[in-house]
Amino acid sequence: MSIETLLPGVVDAAHAAGALIADRFGARQTGSAKGPGDYVTATDHASEEAVRDALAAIAPEVPFFGEEQGGTRGDLGWIVDPLDGTANFIHGFPAVGVSIALVEAGRPVLGVVHAPMLGTTWTAAEGHGAWRDGERLSVSSTDPSQAICGTGFPFKAKDRLATYMAVFDAAFTTFEDLRRPGAATLDLAWVAAGVFDGFFELALGPWDMAAGAVLIREAGGVVTDWSGDPDAWLDGGDILAGPPAVHDALADMAGAALQLENATS
């Protein structure tokens, strides 16, 4: 199976889910809480079914794992976030996305992120570059002192708030500014496109990160966990991403924060 030949079908799957999300956006939404600050709506489930059906049509032999209904994770398989930014969706804030990744032997090798309310799609296949609606992408070359980085608050891991805040404080004083839109899939796509100059967060799910990581790596960036491991972030959930210089700065901050966490645990 050629990974690149799957890409058009994956884009179609993301667009099908995005059309469903856009059609329901702005209507009064109700969601049930999976945990503090973590919601799911009927649209999340409908979007996941739309993606599942579309991917089964192009690659029925590939296992599917979605955020909402789970599935099977094999050596080769799909990892899907059918509606990232559900809280944003419920509140009518348009930073929402659909994320589809193909993961092989623990490494994401194909990624599509679609922002239905922004009309934008980012795509990447390993060895073939990263693209936004047909335009080739490259991570930024901004000096860290002038960088604007994205982040997300660790609302699922408040026991690690001190570790996160150590990096937040260092990043806020080192970089020019920080942003928190509340949809990690889009944050990572924006890093690949050079809109953001880096990204850091704790305790994400693999569906939040897998597609965006392909985009960033294919755009010339670096993705690791907070200890600098280039592979452990997918299942560990702690991620640093950005151009090499910004990533290195984030890695220094995270390393110091982890030392403090380990010393006090």
Q: What is the pLDDT of residues 86-102, one digit of tens each?
A: 999 999 999 999 999 99
Q: In whole angstroms, give the CA distance from residue 248 to residue 144.
A: 10
The pLDDT of 24-30, averaged and rounded, is: 76
Model-level pTM?
0.94
As a whole number, the mean pLDDT across the chain is 94
Ordered structural domains, the chain, with CATH: 3-136 (3.30.540.10), 144-264 (3.40.190.80)
Contact 213, 188 (CB under 8 A): yes
pLDDT at 263: 87
pLDDT at 112: 98
Give me 220's structure tokens: 């010339």
pLDDT at 68: 86
Specify the pairing of strand 199-201 against strand 148-151: parallel
pLDDT reading at 31 higher than 90: no
